[in-house]
Amino acid sequence: MADLEQFRRETRAWLEANCPRSMREPVVEFEDRCWGGTKWQFVSDDQKRWLEVMAERGWTAPDWPAEYGGGGLSKEETRVLREEMQRINARVPLFSMGLSMIGPALLKYGSEALKRQHIPNIVQGRIWWCQGYSEPNYGSDLAGLQTRCEDRGDHFIVNGQKVWTSYADRADWMFCLVRTDPEAPKHAGISLVLFDMNTPGVTVKPIRLISGKSPFCETFLDNVRVEKDQLVGELNRGWELATYLLTHEREMIGSIGQSNVDARLHPHAIEQLGLDRGQLADSALRTDIARWEMDQRAFELTAERITDEATAGQGVGAASSTLKYAGTEINKRRHELLVAIHGQRGLAWEGDAYDHGIIASQWLRTKGNSIEGGTSEIQLNIIAKRILGLGRA
Amino acid sequence: MTGRTMALLLNEEQRMLKDAAREFLSGHAPLTQLRKLRDQRDPLGYCPETWRAMVELGWTGILVPEAEGGLAFGHVGMGQILEEGGRTLTASPLFATAVLGVSALVLAGSEAQRSALLPAIVAGELTLAPAFDESPRHDPQAVATHLRPQGDGFVLDGVKRFVPDGHSADRLLVSARLGETGRIALALVERSAPGVEVQRVVMADSRNSAEIHFQSVQLAAGDLLSGVEDAADTLLRLFEIGNVHLAAELLGLSLEMFEQTVEYLNTRKQFGVLIGSYQGLQHRAAHLYSELELLKSLVLKALQALDTDAAETPRLASLAKAKAGEIATLATNEAVQMHGGVGMTDELDIGFFLKRARVAEQLYGDHRYHLQRYAALCGY
């Protein structure tokens, strides 16, 4: 423990010296969070510098092995680092599917060559990864996916279509679920492959959402050549990796409510409605806000408790489904309430005076939270079957 | 150190205490005990042998400092016993005496009061009843009971309602306005003192409650807990302590209801299949599971806050009680509905949990009250 205290002191001093002031401000815009990659345009020198100094220590991925460029920290040290970053409201230096999804999968299932090729780039934020999962006819029923991957001797050829690929238009590489054995039962014929988005035959088309933004794309794959050494894990054993990756995705989406943004709603309400003898004038809205803040606090504490339980080797599996379900439903309620707090102003769509409709557009974006990464109903299915043991026999 | 020092986990000793509590309560004081007390209209309202055994297990001393013969084990430890008690609905003086009575003495008692009364409570020789509420819906401001100075002492007049253990405890801990000052005092009153009239109130949950009338009850100066100092803050803290432990009990109650319901879904067949194979019921059960996970975290955090006297304690106490009230309502209503007609029968235990959930929620404020209080504490 004494060592841990020393680590805390050193970390605190280092963060104090190296985390730029502007990187301690709450994240507001999408670009405030650095996603990295070759096409990334840093919003400030501070953002660039913050990524560089953290990546140099491997602290973009603090608990990954140092031999691949990670921080090599123990679980306890990682927790201390996280706490010390939270203490000064430091932004995460890098936020990416490389860190949250394909990186962990490569470390667990990838060949030595794949790790050496990709992990350091992920840690350094040099490559933006996107995920090729859903297809037009295979969303919740992901295991039915039909994108074909044929063996052509020294390489694979991939044909098909992916949809809901997050930021495929900005991404450098894709990790992609493909069907390698059409004859096998649906879960037994899937593999996971990696390819460069610049490969001939890859076409990306952004999808315009109700929010007016286009965070997702359709990705068309037309005779795309994939090198054999870019197969992750064993051929036809991709479903195991897929579920492993989905667990990480659920954690990421569910953790939306835990970012360093001040999630409380009542300061907005006080600003918009004002106080009448110390209370919000609208008593029904007041109760709605209090109930939401109760659930938000309970959710944050639950994420903390589940992390503590995992660190102590306790806890149940499928916890990520609980967090994903609760976290996204609570986040949707948050944005419904934000619109209510702002009234008609919250539904303005354009104009400087109305922040270009940011309240409405964020509200609409959250409708996808309980769909992407497995719908709320899929999470409830998982809880019912895996945790509660319902529906067997 | 500003890092998060305490993990949201039970430590080894707290876990052992929880396991021991579960073993004892399910073995020696299961729900059949409360059912029997109810059916026989037991005059005491709890089983004295069970209470004696709880005393021997040291439960009366969990919140008592070591100097006064206690274990100083803290609220997290005590909360585990309350949670387990929510699974068996064991009737005992534990909440009124060992949680609220002890806390009142520790927070506000004089040296003499503490040294005389705490060891007696630890030894199981003294029980207390918190006589605070006067109205059917909890309102801490509504204290009309008053103490009039007279000579060296005081005269007490007023009415207290829904007093837990009011008809069975040795002494009553009474909140009252002090003279014309408007200050709050906490007075210790013998239940058998002249002018004290106790009427047992049979509640839906079959646990002890009473209405108590005080008419010109003579008290000595030493019967006041904080003397003539204002005890309003002490009283508020006692409500917070009570509410966090009621939340712990409601958590245990809800978990028990939930587990029994899931068990039933995995046993009962209709149309030739287990009813748990229907998605309509699966999703409701899974939603309840998720809510219970949220509740667990709030209850543990609030118990830890009581032990560390964290600045966030008042807010956490209200959040824990509010969530516990809401979820216990959901868990018990879902239990009845998913059990179907049999859930409505007295033969099944569900009715006991349903009734206890509502009484425990109303005591010291339901979720509506606590959401309002939380908002006020946050300044909106």
pLDDT of residue A257: 47
Instruction: With CB atoms and an 8 Å threshold, state whether B319 touches A301.
Output: no
Which pair of structure tokens corresponds to residue B348?
A: 């099944």
pLDDT 10s digits, A143-165: 999 999 999 999 999 999 999 99
Within 13 Å of residue B121, how many CA atoms lie on the same side as its CB? 35
Assess whether A272 and A359 both reside in one domain.
yes
Residue by residue, DSSP assigns A202-214 as EEEEEE--TTS--
* Distance separating alpha carbons of residues A370 and A68, to the nearest angstrom: 34
Q: What is the DSSP letter of B184?
A: E
Task: Please check whether residues A231 and A285 belong to one and the same domain.
Answer: no
Using DSSP's 3-state secondary structure scheme, residue A222 falls into strand
| Higher-confidence position of A318 and A286 | A286
Smallest Cα distance from B127 to chain A, Å: 35
Q: Which of A297, A306, A325, A392 to mutate to test the interface with B (most CBs of B within 10 A)?
A: A297
Which residue range is the domain that position A321 belongs to? 262-387
Confidence of residue A373 (pLDDT cuts 50, 70, 90): confident
Q: Tell whether the model's pLDDT for residue B207 goes beyond 70.
A: yes
The yes-or-no answer on residue A83 being catalytic is no
Q: Is residue A363 part of a domain?
A: yes
ipTM, two decimals, is 0.94
Angstrom distance (rounded) from CA B43 to CA B30: 19
Q: Which of B287, B297, B380 has its CB closest to that of A269?
A: B380
Q: Is residue A106 part of a domain?
A: no
Q: Are B146 and B189 in contact (CB under 8 A)?
A: no
User: Taking 70 as the threshold, does the pLDDT of residue B1 lie above it?
Assistant: no
B3 close to A (CB below 8 A):
yes
Which alpha helices (H) appear in B162-278, and where do they start and end? Answer: 232-265
What's the pLDDT band for A249 if we cut at 50, 70, 90?
confident
Mean pLDDT taken over chain B: 96
Candidates A77, A84, A135, A249; catalytic one: A249
- C-alpha to C-alpha distance for B83 and A298, rounded to whole angstroms: 18
Counting one residue from chain A and one from chain B, the pairs whose CB atoms sit within 8 A come to: 138
Q: Do A308 and A373 fall into the same domain?
A: yes
Residue among B283, B372, B374 minimizing CB distance to A384? B283
Residue B322 sits at the chain A interface (C-beta within 8 Å): yes
pLDDT in tens, A168-179: 999 999 999 999
Chain A residues with CB inside 8 Å of B296's CB? 302, 305
**pLDDT value for A261:** 58
pLDDT greater than 50 at residue B82: yes
Let me know whether A62 and A154 are in one domain.
no
Pairing of strands B273-274, B269-270: antiparallel
**A250 within domain boundaries:** no
Position B313, amino acid = T
pLDDT at position A90: 94
> What pLDDT shows up at residue A1?
61
Q: Residue B114 CB: number of other CB atoms within 10 A?
A: 18
Q: How confident is the model at residue B2, as a pLDDT? A: 38
CA nearest neighbour of A160 among A193, A114, A129, A128 = A193
How confident is the prediction for chain A on average, in pLDDT? 93
Q: Confidence band (pLDDT; 50, 70, 90) for B134? A: very high
Q: Report if residue A392 sits inside a domain.
A: no
Q: What is the CATH number of the domain that holds A346?
A: 1.20.140.10
Asked if residue A145 and residue A215 are part of one domain, the reply reads yes
CA distance A80 to chain B (A): 7
Residue-wise pLDDT for A194-239, tens only, equals 999 999 999 999 999 998 888 899 999 999 999 999 999 999 999 9
- Least CB-CB distance to A391: which of B277, B289, B293? B277
Of B262, B301, B323, which is closest to A388 when you measure between CB atoms? Answer: B262
pLDDT at A75 over 90: no
Buried b (16+ CB within 10 A) or exposed e, B352-379: bbbbbbbbbbbbbbbbbbbbbbbbebbe
What DSSP designation does B349 have? S
Mean pLDDT value across residues B238-260:
98
Distance from CA of B371 to the nearest CA of A (A): 6
Partner-chain residue, chosen from B7, B290, B375, that has the shortest CB–CB distance to A290: B375
* A212 shares its domain with A289: no
Residues A166-192: what's their mean pLDDT? Answer: 96
Q: Does residue B298 sit at the A interface (CB-CB below 8 Å)?
A: yes
Distance CA B167, CA B200 (A): 6
Closest to A55 (Cα-Cα) out of A92, A105, A109: A92
**A60 inside domain:** yes
Q: Burial of B136 by CB count in 10 Å (0-12 exposed, 13-18 middle, 19+ buried)?
A: exposed
State the best of A84, A258, A288, A380 to mutate against chain B, taking most chain B CBs within 10 Å.
Answer: A380
CB-based contact A266 B380, cutoff 8 Å: yes
- First-to-last alpha carbon distance for chain A, in angstroms, is 49
Q: Of chain A residues 326-365, which have a CB less than 8 A from chain B?
A: 326
Domain-located, residue A249 = no
Mean per-residue pLDDT, A317-340: 93
A251 confidence band (pLDDT: 50, 70, 90): confident
Chain A nearest CA to B192, separation (Å): 43
What six digits make up the tokens of A242? 């897929």
What secondary structure letter does DSSP report for B11? -
- pLDDT tens for B214-225 read 999 999 999 999
Task: Kindly identify which residue of chain B lies nearest to residue A302, measuring between CA atoms.
Answer: B297
User: How are beta strands A173-179 and A190-196 bridged, if at all?
Assistant: antiparallel
- The share of chain B scoring above pLDDT 70, in percent, equals 99
Strand partners of residue B196? B214
Give the C-alpha separation, B16 to B11, whole Å.
9
Query: Rounded to whole angstroms, how far apart are CA atoms B291 and A299?
Result: 9
pLDDT above 90 coverage of chain A, percent:
81
Whether A251 maps to a domain, the answer reads: no
User: Bigger pLDDT: B226 or B129?
Assistant: B129
- What CATH number did the domain enclosing A33 receive? 1.10.540
**Across the interface, do A298 and B4 touch by the CB < 8 Å criterion?**
no
Judge whether A48 and A35 are in contact, CB under 8 Å.
Answer: no
- Tell me if A257 is assigned to some domain: no
CATH assignment of the domain containing A146: 2.40.110.10
pLDDT above 80 (res A316): no
CB atoms under 10 Å from CB of A313, counted, come to 6
CA distances from A106 to A56, A102, A111, A156, A286 (A): 21, 6, 8, 20, 47
* Section B252-266 average pLDDT: 98
Over residues B151-172, the pLDDT tens digits come to 999 999 999 999 999 999 999 9
Quick check: B280 contacting A, CB < 8 Å?
A: no
- Mean pLDDT, to the nearest integer, of A134-139? 92
> How many other C-beta atoms can be found within 10 angstroms of the C-beta atom of residue B250?
31
Spell out a b/e string for A147-178, using b for 16 or more CB atoms within 10 Å of the CB, else e. bebeeeeeebbbbbbbbbbbbbbbbbbbbbbb
For residue A363, the surrounding DSSP H or E stretch is helix A358-366
Domains along chain B with CATH numbers: 12-127 (1.10.540.10), 130-223 (2.40.110.10), 232-377 (1.20.140.10)
pTM of the model: 0.89
Would you place residue A393 in the very low, low, confident or very high pLDDT band (cuts 50, 70, 90)?
low
Of B9, B266, B322, the CB nearest to A294: B322
Integer Cα distance of A1 and A99 in angstroms:
28
- In chain A, positions 238-277, which contact chain B (CB-CB < 8 Å)? 266, 269-270, 275
Question: Distance (Å, rounded) from C-alpha A178 to C-alpha A192?
Answer: 6
Distances (CA, A) of B295 to A31, A52, B71, B331: 35, 41, 28, 12
Q: How many domains does chain A have?
A: 3
Are A33 and A125 contacting, i.e. CB atoms less than 8 angstroms apart?
no
- A273 and A224 in a common domain: no
Q: What is the pLDDT of residue B180?
A: 87
Phi and psi at B255, nearest 5°, equal: -60, -40
> How confident is the model at residue B228, as a pLDDT?
84
Give the C-alpha separation, A127 to A135, whole Å. 24
**Residues B38-76 pLDDT 10s:** 999 999 999 999 999 999 999 999 999 999 999 999 999
Cα B104 to chain centroid distance, Å, stands at: 14
Query: For residue B272, what are its two tokens?
Result: 């030739």
> What's the gap in Å between the CA of A312 and the closest CA on chain B?
9
**What is the largest distance, in Å, between two alpha-carbon atoms of chain A?**
78
- Given an 8 Å threshold on Cβ–Cβ distance, is B371 in contact with A302? no
Bridge-based pairing state of the strands A129-132 and A173-179 = parallel
Cα A362–A364–A368 angle (5° rounding)?
Answer: 105
For residue range B289-334, what is the model confidence (pLDDT) as tens digits?
999 999 999 999 999 999 999 999 999 999 999 999 999 999 999 9
d(CA A391, CA B265): 9
- Mutual angle of helices B313-339 and B350-362, in 10-degree steps: 150
Question: Could you say which of A201, A236, A271 is where a domain stops?
Answer: A236
Mean pLDDT value of segment B339-361: 97
